[in-house]
């Protein structure tokens, strides 16, 4: 149990040593590996696919949180599920049939998430709360690591928190609220106060290695900076 979940994004890891890097973040107490998939079509960058997910799977026990920034979405869902993903999230603009894609992810045994770009309205949540395990708010425009946190995300986090709490009160079912982009030691407290329970951090973690190449110091600092919040299960 821990106060918040931290999901280091491998986008800022050393890809030539990826197995070692994910082992290091697990050893430092990471709750999830955040796995950014970009296709140079839905977003202007190109990263990694199911083969790399499968390659890192044996290196860690923690969940792999696959963030799909691809279009179309559906064909990749079974491939990532087979490659060992635990959570799969996608952008609603990238799928013709959002409800169907959410169901497809669950049918393949993964938790399903919907991702909101800074300009994407939360109205996409209106009719799919029962099919969601995760709401992921982008606090940068997707495509690159190392961008600055967009402050209006804080108000959006509060609005998403209200919707999620209302759903939990009505159904008893938990939905995670994750934030992705520009999460740093100096803004993590206000992000958690605004309602996030799961934090993606790429450059903040992989840009601050300990002398031995591990990430214990920065992970501890992130948790301390996040401040008190109710304990919650990992996955
Ligand atoms: C951006 C990605 C993020 C990114 C976060 O498109 O979805 O996960 O890696 O990186 P930082 O924490 O450096 O903003
Ligand atoms: Zn991401």
Kindly tell me if the per-residue pLDDT of 155 is higher than 60. Answer: yes
Q: Return all residues near 75 (Cβ < 8 A) that are at least 6 apart.
A: none
Q: Is ligand 1 within 6 A of the CB of residue 89? A: no
pLDDT at 1: 37
Q: Is 36 a catalytic residue?
A: yes
Residues 8 and 206: their CA atoms lie apart, in Å, by 8
> Quick one: tokens of 178?
């994750």
Mean pLDDT within 193-211: 98
**What's the mean per-residue pLDDT of the chain?**
96
Q: What is the mean pLDDT of residues 178-187?
A: 98
pLDDT classification of 230: cutoffs 50, 70, 90: low
Q: What tens digit of pLDDT does each residue of 79-101 get?
A: 999 999 999 999 999 999 999 99
Catalytic status, residue 31: no
Ligand 1 pocket test, candidate residues 30, 69, 140, 148, most atoms within 8 A of CB: 140
CA of 162 to the centre of ligand 1 (A): 25
Query: Which DSSP string do the residues of 209-227 spell out, in sequence order?
Result: --TTS--HHHHHHHHHHH-
Q: What is the mean pLDDT of residues 222-233?
A: 77
Q: In sequence order, which ranges of 75-231 are alpha helices (DSSP H)?
A: 76-82, 98-107, 153-171, 188-193, 203-206, 216-226
Inform me whether the pLDDT recorded for 161 exceeds 50. yes
Q: Which atom of ligand 1 is nearest to the CA of 149?
A: 14
Is the CB of residue 21 below 6 angstroms from any atom belonging to ligand 1? Answer: no
Decide: 11 in ligand 1 pocket, CB within 6 A: yes
């Amino acid at each position: 149990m821990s106060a918040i979940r931290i999901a280091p994004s491998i986008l800022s890891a050393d890809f030539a040593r990826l197995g070692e890097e994910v082992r290091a973040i697990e050893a430092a107490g990471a709750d999830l590996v955040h796995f950014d998939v970009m296709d140079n079509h839905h977003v202007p960058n190109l990263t990694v696919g199911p083969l790399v997910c499968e390659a890192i799977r044996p290196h860690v026990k923690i969940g792999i949180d696959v963030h799909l920034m691809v279009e179309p979405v559906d064909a990749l869902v079974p491939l990532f599920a087979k490659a060992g993903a635990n959570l799969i999230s996608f952008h609603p603009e990238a799928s013709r049939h959002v409800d169907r894609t959410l169901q497809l992810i669950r049918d393949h045994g993964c938790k399903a998430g919907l991702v909101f770009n800074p300009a994407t309205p939360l109205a996409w949540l209106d009719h799919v709360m029962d099919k969601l395990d995760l709401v992921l708010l982008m606090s940068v425009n997707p495509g690159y690591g190392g961008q600055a946190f967009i402050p209006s995300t804080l108000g959006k986090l509060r609005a998403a928190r209200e919707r999620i709490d209302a759903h939990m009160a009505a159904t008893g079912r938990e939905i995670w609220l994750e934030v992705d982009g520009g999460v740093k030691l100096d803004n993590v407290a206000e992000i958690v106060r605004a309602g996030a329970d799961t934090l993606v951090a790429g450059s903040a973690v992989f840009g601050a290695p300990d002398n031995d190449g591990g990430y214990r110091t920065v992970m501890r600092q992130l948790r301390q900076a996040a401040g008190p919040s109710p304990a919650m299960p990992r996955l």
